[in-house]
Structure formats: C-alpha cells, structure tokens
Amino acid sequence: MQPLDLTMRPPRGPRETLAGLAFMPRTIDKLRAEMPGGKMAKYLNRPDGLSAFMCKRIGVDMEELRGVVAGAEDEDEVAAWLQARVDAALAAETSAKLALMTVDRLPPEFQERVRQNHPVMERRPELTTFFEIFEADDAEAYADP
C-alpha cells in the first residue's frame, strides 16, 4: 500500500468498517501516514490509543498489523489477513464496544489528554463518544475556510 498524506484529508471515519471491524479503516489510514513518504498531520497513533485498544481486543499485534499494511498490495489483502485471524463475532462485539466508548470512562489524566488533543470538545460539550469526537474534530479541521 502507498503512504498517505493526512494533511490533505482526514483518515476515514471511525464508523467505517473493514473485515467487520469499525475503526479499522481509520487505523489503516494512520498506519499508511506513518510510512516513509506519508504525513500524520495532527493525528496520533499512540500505544494507549483507540487503535491499539482495538487491536489488543481482537488479538492482533499492532506492530504486525503495521507490517502487513506496509507490505500489502491493497486493502483487500489486509482484509483477508484480518479475516483469517479475527473471529467475526469478536469483530462485531468489538465494533459495538468501540462505538459506545465514552471519554468519561477514562481515568482523569487520560480524559485531560483527550481534551487537549481534541479541542472541539470544549466547544461541543454534547460530544461524549470517541466516534462523535473524532467525526466532529475531522469536520472542523478540514472545513472549507
């Protein structure tokens, strides 16, 4: 797969799926942006972030996924690799859990870090789930001037 420049557009939305997994296309976009020639822009791929949580929950090593993405010809190849390793029921359960995850369930120090990384939360206090926050943050960051 080719590197991705996230200064031009955001990663795909958190609700988009691949191999039955919500958030996986967004994770793949960030992994592609980490590749030589890619640009992460303001995006993060932290070892304690949502992508890492998803990977841990489905039993996929993030470093191994990073290598698969870098070496894959296309996303179909990544999807096939995931489908061979992740039970469809676990993928559906994980997707549902991710969609409902809220910031208020984090320890206070993590909540503060999320607020710092996503200033849209200050202007939009009704945003509670990570998916809502990411969507609003992307829309604001890439809005037409």
Residue 87 has pLDDT above 80, yes or no: yes
Residue 143 has pLDDT above 70, yes or no: yes
pLDDT tens digits, 29-61: 999 999 999 999 989 888 888 999 999 999 999
**Among the residues of the chain, which ranges form H helices?**
24-34, 50-58, 62-71, 75-85, 88-100, 108-117, 120-123, 130-141
Rg (CA), the chain: 15
Please tell me which of 4-8, 47-51, 108-112 the model is most confident about, judged by mean pLDDT.
4-8
What is the pLDDT, as a whole number, of residue 48?
85
Whole-number average pLDDT of the chain: 95
Three-state DSSP at 39 gives strand
Best CA proximity match to 50, nearest among 11, 89, 5: 11
Instruction: Report the Cα 93 to chain-centroid distance in Å.
Output: 17
Measure the CA–CA gap between 115 and 109, rounded to whole angstroms. 10
Q: What torsion, rounded to 10 degrees, do the Cα atoms 17, 103, 5, 94 define?
A: -20
What is the pLDDT, as a whole number, of residue 127?
95
| % the chain with pLDDT above 70 | 99
Measure the CA–CA gap between 58 and 5, rounded to whole angstroms. 27
Measure the CA–CA gap between 4 and 139, rounded to whole angstroms. 18
What is the pLDDT, as a whole number, of residue 145?
61
- Indicate the pTM of the whole model: 0.94
| % the chain with pLDDT above 90 | 88
Amino acid at 137: D
Residue 144 has pLDDT above 80, yes or no: no
**Any residues with CB less than 8 A from the CB of 84 and at least 6 apart, and which?**
none
Structure tokens at 13: 């939305």
